[in-house]
Amino acid sequence: MVLLVNEKPGAEAAERRKFFESAGHRTYTLATSRGSVLTVMGSRTEEFEAFAESHDEYRLLAPDVPYVLASRKIKDTPTVVRLPNGAAIGGSDLAIIAGPCSVETEEQMMEAAHAVRSAGATVLRGGAFKPRTSPYAFQGLGVTGLVMMRRAAEAYGLAVITEVMDSDDIPVICEYADILQVGARNCQNFSLLKKLGRCGKPVLLKRGMMTSIEELLMSAEYILSEGNMDVVLCERGIRTFETATRNTLDISAVPVLRSMTHLPIVVDPSHAAGTWKLIEPLSMAAVAAGADGLVVEVHPDPERALCDGKQSLRPDRFSAMIDRIRPLASMVGRNLSL
């Protein structure tokens, strides 16, 4: 795989894009420190070499990694995913994404939205289509849940993230959500990933229980290669021999990914730990390791939660935790809103 990179931003980009696309190549506009750059991807090395030789503004790049578009070798400035409510993931702000595992009732979502917003979160989470191990367990409220979540988010100025399990649901989820989440179980569902590459909304991609860091980047590459550059990676724990926690949080994934990719990296301590008592130390570790944000399950009444109550924080505990994270965040050069 080689890339032809136009280093002169803006120059005849639209026409060039058409020219390359009509020749059957994929083109991308990447925001780099030099401005937005037109990148053409293909495998016809000689043809590209000849083009680069006769066009000064173009340079041929042959990254030695398979995750070409996700790689720092093609883009060395961090990607910042911007959300309609003004929040960003990947910039100097520490993004706090919080809310219940599942949307249950309008009241529950209103309470959750109020609680997480007042503690400093900018994105409300909640599942409407749930990937449950058992087909007999609560499967989520579907579109009714999306409506409840959107209402609650609007009331408190929050953006919405929710999981998409089935590509048939992409259009309706796009109507209500600002970020589409791919759960750990679908991390390597390549046909879903390709469709999300064309959905026009940011995607948060969770690491699969058994995917390596390189495999996670290859999954992200499926989304990027369809033209969607707004991808956030999420470490949520992997399966190991250890049984003391639900999964093992791979904290080293944060600095390792940082060295490999320009994409934002967030950590979900809730699904890693499986118990609320470990959320704070794992969150602290994630922030210290350089994560761009946290995904935390918060429920107004964890004991009565229909899903993942054991690992959900009560609002008062969540708020106290965020207050303790604040000084640590500023030590590592991050701001927290509020």
Decide: is 246 part of the binding site for ligand PEP (CB under 6 A). no
* CB atoms near residue 335 (< 10 Å): 11
Binding partner at 75 among Mn ion, ligand PEP, none, C-beta below 5 to 8 Å by kind: none
Among 75, 262, 271, 299, binds ligand PEP (CB under 6 A): 271
Write out the two tokens for 225: 């290669």
In order of 87, 311, 322, the CA distances from 95 in angstroms are: 8, 20, 11
Identify any residues that bridge with 334 across adjacent strands, giving them in sequence order: none
Helix (H) or strand (E) holding 222: helix 213-224
Decide: is 308 part of the binding site for Mn ion (CB under 5 A). yes
Stretch of 61-69, 87-95, 148-156, 177-185 lying at the interface with ligand PEP (CB under 6 A)? 177-185
Among 236, 258, 299, 334, binds ligand PEP (CB under 6 A): 236
Q: Which residues of 131-170 are buried (b: 16+ CB within 10 A; e: fewer)?
A: eeeeeeeebbbeeebbbbbbebbeebebbbbbbbbeeebb
| Closest residue to bound ligand PEP by CB | 183
Name the residue type at position 246.
R
> What is the distance between the alpha carbons of residues 133 and 43, in angstroms, rounded to a whole number?
41
Q: For ligand PEP, which is the closer residue by CB, 7 or 301?
A: 301
Binding partner at 184 among ligand PEP, Mn ion, none, C-beta below 5 to 8 Å by kind: ligand PEP
For ligand PEP (CB under 6 A), the number of binding residues is 10
Decide: is 299 part of the binding site for ligand PEP (CB under 6 A). no
Q: Where are the beta strands (DSSP E) in 214-280?
A: 231-235, 265-267
Binding partner at 206 among Mn ion, ligand PEP, none, C-beta below 5 to 8 Å by kind: ligand PEP
Decide: is 101 part of the binding site for ligand PEP (CB under 6 A). yes
CB of 131 to ligand PEP, least distance (A): 5
The DSSP output letter for 261 is: B
The residues of the shown chain that bind ligand PEP, judged by CB under 6 A, are 101, 127, 131, 183-185, 206, 236, 268, 271
The residues of the shown chain that bind Mn ion, judged by CB under 5 A, are 101, 308
